[in-house]
Amino acid sequence: MNRLRWVGEGDIWELDKSTPVTLEATARAVSNDPLPLGLSRGTRLSRPKQAEFFHRFMATPLIPSFSPLAGGLSLQKVLTFPFPNNWFVSLLGQFDVQRFVSEVKKSEAFVRGSASRLSTLGKQLKDKSLYALGFCSELLLTPEDTLLLSYDTYKCDPNKNPRAKAVFNHKFPLHNLTAEAVWPGLYVDKEGEYWDVPFSMAIDLASLPAESGLSYHLCLHHNSGSPKKFSSVDAVEVPPPASLLPGLSLKSAFSYRANMDLWRGITPKLEACKPYDIFLSSPHVSVSGIIGSVMTAAFGENSIRTKLEKDSEGVGGFSLHLPSVNSGFMADALGRASLTAQYGNFQKLFFDLTRFHARLDFPHGLRFLTGATSVAQELLNSRQPSLEAFQKICPEVSVSLQQQIVGPFSLRAESGIQIDLKNEGNPVTIHNATFAIEYALQVLASAKAVAWYSPKQGEFMIELRFYET
């Protein structure tokens, strides 16, 4: 569910996922040990600002989205209020098209084909249950400080509680500070399941991203209340992820990144033609590697995961649980290796961009080291290593492929690859595939409108993104 947005990111920090299940259109990753970190989410345009851009500059008066959990097909429109330039205030409205069509079909007057069809449509359009409204205020307090407040209500679904959010951002010369409070907080796990936490609060300090070198994150996170599945219809109650249980956690992560170009094109660019995206205008083949460590101290019910998740595969690193004080400590190493290959300058009208990216994640460093040592010892002793040892060194794989079709339009696909050597019939499976059409906004140097579809979740969404590859 990375939505073709971050598979090429060189850093290891988990970012917010895009999703149409709520008006805010984002879900935070469920923190695991050690990955995903669930820490800094990066800068992005809020959903109301995206909608305003589509309305004003792309002749899109209504923005469609689709999600089974949100009732099906919906249309969004935003109204902005005339405030000073440093204050953006908006009202985002969402209309449930699928429910409207269903209600109209049920209407006897409409079915009989009588002259009252028009009045029937008007009556249905007045039904408040077809609408959801979201208020958003983004205030630039100083050049370094911003404050976002939002409040969403869902008349279309009486089972949905209002959602509120407050976010404060401060830019230091070399760091970003984020303080966030949400109620309820929307989270998504690795299986694509959404979870609501009644109240969630976090303070995050992150070093600025860099092409290479050291980076680090510190995060203090607090959950309150019992988490539950978002719009759950399962007959069997599924236990929530342990990290979402009530409690306080302090997480610190450090990583070192190195990059190397294997080849970089020297073909001169067309002087009379500006690239559709300046970040995609240089053909090259490059590799990068990241090593790091994560330490987590948990206090409360969320600390029990150090005991519950320590199975045959193990948490992977050092784990300590202290039931007497209801706390725990976890530490582990991690690594990542990636390859990016691009052909073309993204300047010509047809097929001037082919881009491939592959990423190998090793989220449990100690487990990988144990497995690699076991495999090496078995091979040195002329014995066949066990499947368990090989499984420990198997990475989590993500791949992405992008191909220009014509002009600023390109197709893109992203997928994860799971390796399960214990499954003899199908040891390699593809999961969380996502497909998209991207339209590069050439006048903005590096911006694009993206329409993506996720078959697994059955979700469709149109977004605006800046400075992303």
**In the predicted model, what is the mean pLDDT of residues 371-387?**
90
| pLDDT(312) > 80 | no
Measured distance CA(456)–CA(192) in Å, rounded? 8
* Other CB atoms within 10 A of residue 204 CB: 22
Out of 203-217, 223-237, 436-450, give the one with best mean pLDDT. Answer: 436-450
| DSSP helix/strand/coil, 231 | coil
The helix (H) or strand (E) run that includes residue 207 is strand 199-207
* Residue % of the chain over a pLDDT of 70: 87
| pLDDT(159) > 80 | no
User: b or e along 227-236 (b: 16 or more beta carbons within 10 Å of the residue's beta carbon)?
Assistant: bbebbeeeee
Q: CA torsion 143→40→67→359, rounded to 10°?
A: 120
So what's the pLDDT on residue 5? 40
Measured distance CA(414)–CA(433) in Å, rounded? 6
By the 8 A CB rule, do 286 and 259 touch?
A: yes
| pLDDT(383) > 70 | yes
Residue 202, C-beta contacts closer than 8 angstroms, at least 6 positions apart: 178, 179, 180, 219, 220, 221, 222
So what's the pLDDT on residue 435? 95
- pLDDT for 172-195, tens place per residue? 998 889 999 999 999 988 888 899
State CA 378 to chain mean position distance: 40
Measured distance CA(69)–CA(154) in Å, rounded? 13
Which residue is associated with the tokens 């404060």?
168
Whether a cis peptide bond, with omega within 30° of 0, leads into 36 is: yes
- pLDDT for 392-451, tens place per residue? 999 989 999 999 999 999 999 999 998 988 888 889 999 889 999 999 999 888 889 999
Residue 84, C-beta contacts closer than 8 angstroms, at least 6 positions apart: none
Lowest average pLDDT, out of 107-116, 202-211, 213-222, 344-353, goes to 107-116
Q: Chain-wide mean pLDDT for the chain?
A: 85
* Other CB atoms within 10 A of residue 469 CB: 18
| pLDDT(236) > 70 | no
Backbone angles phi, psi at 131, to 5 degrees: -120, 150
Amino acid at position 177, single letter? L
Which residue is associated with the tokens 């989270």?
187
Report residue 111's pLDDT band, with 50, 70 and 90 as the boundaries: low
So what's the pLDDT on residue 247? 94
Which residue is associated with the tokens 């599924």?
238
Residue-wise DSSP of 122-164 = HHHHT-GGGEEEEEEEEEEEETTEEEEEEEEEETT-TTSPPEE
Measured distance CA(317)–CA(292) in Å, rounded? 13
Which residue is associated with the tokens 């800068």?
43
Which residue is associated with the tokens 């590799």?
287
So what's the pLDDT on residue 152? 94
Residue 166, C-beta contacts closer than 8 angstroms, at least 6 positions apart: 147, 148, 149, 180, 181, 182
Helix H, strand E, coil C: the string for 331-383 is EEEEEEEEEEEEECCCCCCCCCCEEEEEEEEECCHHHHHHHHHHHHHHHHCCC
By the 8 A CB rule, do 28 and 187 touch?
A: yes
Write the DSSP symbol of residue 103: H
User: What are the tokens at 335?
Assistant: 């690594």
The helix (H) or strand (E) run that includes residue 17 is strand 17-18
pTM: 0.88
State CA 54 to chain mean position distance: 21
Write the DSSP symbol of residue 85: T
The helix (H) or strand (E) run that includes residue 388 is helix 387-393
State CA 250 to chain mean position distance: 22
Report residue 127's pLDDT band, with 50, 70 and 90 as the boundaries: confident
- pLDDT for 145-156, tens place per residue? 999 999 999 865
So what's the pLDDT on residue 35? 52
**In the predicted model, what is the mean pLDDT of residues 119-136?**
86
So what's the pLDDT on residue 115? 59
Residue 405, C-beta contacts closer than 8 angstroms, at least 6 positions apart: 350, 351, 411
Question: Rounded to whole angstroms, what are the CA distances from 229 to 69, 110, 241, 299?
Answer: 11, 37, 10, 23
| pLDDT(461) > 80 | yes
**In the predicted model, what is the mean pLDDT of residues 70-94?**
92
| DSSP helix/strand/coil, 452 | strand
